[in-house]
Structure 1
């Protein structure tokens, strides 16, 4: 080690606290875990030693010593949606980290567009799970299934898409109305006063995130860009072939189509239709989620902007929230806030 280098900090242990306070290890354990039976003066000495040494409990080690562990189910969509594929990969990576914290993740793939299928999957979850993270449909039966899990003492986190009137513990995802408003502002500025129509393509209007995005989009477009008329929302069910057909029909039917806002997925279909029409540089296209495909479309100029949410942050946040709840620990709200990213061709990571 070179002269002047700082020695790595050594984490204080319960034994260090006991020596500094001049008490037994058992007494320190009682004070740290807020158990009764210790005199006030002794509590004060132990707490002073904890503060002086900067002692922090090793929660994972404590769980290991107690033989305590938690199992969580992550209910994710079936299908070939690229963002959801990325999210699945990030959940798998998070599972590796969580295992060291005595938490274990199992991934279940379900058709989240079908409320009966999704609700049935939640209703039939194994009682071995202490927590669930789910891409939620805001549907009465799905809300009822979430409420039933909560009644059984199972913590539920909604991920990416929310069901806010349910008894879920927390929503982990972006502010979707704000994301839609952001897309509308970009659309209006990119089109710079041109008149015409703008298409809005959702995956499903049963998904609250898609509803909220198109609501925010219409809110800004109608109030601040009266030169642009939003067409009725159409649903592509996040399917590329279906979305390609819908986009091709829009392009054929509306000679004055100036922009396309996709608040769901199916982006490969939109790109195919735009490029086949010869209007890819004429129509402003804004979509969600940075994937291998949207990156490619952005680089070659078919796509103009991406509104993104970080799937890695969401996977880790959902796991942290569930683990903290089951362990009786606190979370940092700022750490769990999911940001809205805007990517243009010029700032791709």
Structure 2
């Protein structure tokens, strides 16, 4: 396997032993396929971040642990790696632990494993449940700071939350929805990926509260546990449209927007207003085609910059830093930003 890094550097990035890396590099038997992929991914991560390795300054190794659709994890990793060269005086590298469907017990095992290996920080997108709170508490006891991203674990010992004010962004969605549906009767479908993500719950809560103010007669139909995946959203929205013929608009909090569009098309129903989150490749396409009315967007590069400053501040590399909530932008087909 071609590479340009010492075995110990690859092992540190992959979170495995030097001997395991040596066996993988030389194609020797006795290594599980998942471990082989882990080593391959470590080398790919080092390749993407090699420009950062040449920078002088203090070095930090962080772990990103995210239960999220692949489209969003790609946005996060792209944003972080775009910011890495500008993070002086720190030299920062990242290890990624990302799954689209992650059982809580398995995620806890991963967090505990990071605690045993060591890390300068864990950046976490996870459900707000007691098991995750306990895992964060154990990391804190091991002097590994945890920063929650996009969605918070409120009662935990995390040192900071980075992302939008989720209640405010939900209220913004309701404000837009009420204005665009002013002369259109019908119900609004709100779809979330899961009930345990604090950020999505706040978005829905903010949406409902503001809609009662701006459009008090409007009915909200709620659908949850979509996992943010297109196939699941397609199935759930098919069912919702059959049961609720009055649905005329959608606020997609958790993703899976291609599946939502396909469900409306299959039922030959019009979606008068469709609001979503995050500028993934698919959402850019749906915006440009007019299927999405608008995306409620926050700059992930700014979030990654804030996260890095929190890490550096925690370790004494820069003065104390407390992140502000990310600015909320409304992206329409006419102001889609460049990559």
Task: State the TM-score, normalizing by the size of structure 2.
Answer: 0.77
Alignment of 1:1-349 (within 5 A): 64=57, 69-77=59-67, 79-80=69-70, 82-98=71-87, 101-110=90-99, 113-125=102-114, 126-280=116-270, 282-327=271-316, 329-331=318-320, 333=322, 336-349=324-337
Alpha-carbon distance, 1:312 to partner: 1.6
Contact 2:101 2:227 in 1 (8 A): no
Alpha-carbon distance, 1:100 to partner: 6.4
Alpha-carbon distance, 1:110 to partner: 4.0
Gap regions ≥5 residues in structure 1:
1-62
Which whole-Å CA distance do the structure 1 matches of 2:101 and 2:86 have between them?
A: 26
Alpha-carbon distance, 1:75 to partner: 1.4
Q: 1:197 to 1:79 in 2, by over 3 A?
A: closer
Alpha-carbon distance, 1:86 to partner: 1.1
Contact 2:233 2:259 in 1 (8 A): yes
Q: 1:113 to 1:196 in 2, by over 3 A?
A: farther
Which whole-Å CA distance do the structure 2 matches of 1:176 and 1:256 have between them?
A: 27
Which whole-Å CA distance do the structure 2 matches of 1:264 and 1:228 have between them?
A: 21
Alpha-carbon distance, 1:203 to partner: 0.7
Which whole-Å CA distance do the structure 1 matches of 2:100 and 2:269 have between them?
A: 34
Which whole-Å CA distance do the structure 2 matches of 1:87 and 1:134 have between them?
A: 12
Q: 1:255 to 1:210 in 2, by over 3 A?
A: same
Which whole-Å CA distance do the structure 1 matches of 2:92 and 2:177 have between them?
A: 43
Alpha-carbon distance, 1:96 to partner: 4.5
Alpha-carbon distance, 1:325 to partner: 1.1
Q: 1:233 to 1:276 in 2, by over 3 A?
A: closer
Aligned residues: 283
Which whole-Å CA distance do the structure 2 matches of 1:240 and 1:111 have between them?
A: 12
Which secondary structure state, in structure 2, belongs to the residue aligned with residue 232 of structure 1? strand
Contact 1:134 1:157 in 2 (8 A): yes
Which secondary structure state, in structure 2, belongs to the residue aligned with residue 231 of structure 1? strand
Which whole-Å CA distance do the structure 1 matches of 2:69 and 2:273 have between them?
A: 27
Contact 2:73 2:98 in 1 (8 A): no
Which whole-Å CA distance do the structure 1 matches of 2:68 and 2:218 have between them?
A: 36
Alpha-carbon distance, 1:302 to partner: 1.4
Once superposed, what is the RMSD of the aligned Cα atoms? Answer: 2.4
Which secondary structure state, in structure 1, belongs to the residue aligned with residue 222 of structure 2? coil
1:14-59 per-residue CA deviation (whole Å, 9 max, x = no partner) reads xxxxxxxxxxxxxxxxxxxxxxxxxxxxxxxxxxxxxxxxxxxxxx
Contact 1:72 1:132 in 2 (8 A): yes
Which whole-Å CA distance do the structure 2 matches of 1:112 and 1:147 have between them?
A: 23
Q: 1:162 to 1:112 in 2, by over 3 A?
A: farther
Deviates more, 1:68-77 or 1:220-229: 68-77
Which whole-Å CA distance do the structure 1 matches of 2:252 and 2:322 have between them?
A: 30
Alpha-carbon distance, 1:69 to partner: 3.1
Which secondary structure state, in structure 2, belongs to the residue aligned with residue 306 of structure 1? strand
1:164-198 per-residue CA deviation (whole Å, 9 max, x = no partner) reads 21110100010001011111111111100433211
Contact 1:324 1:331 in 2 (8 A): yes
1:195-229 per-residue CA deviation (whole Å, 9 max, x = no partner) reads 32111100111111111111111111223312210
Q: 1:78 to 1:342 in 2, by over 3 A?
A: closer
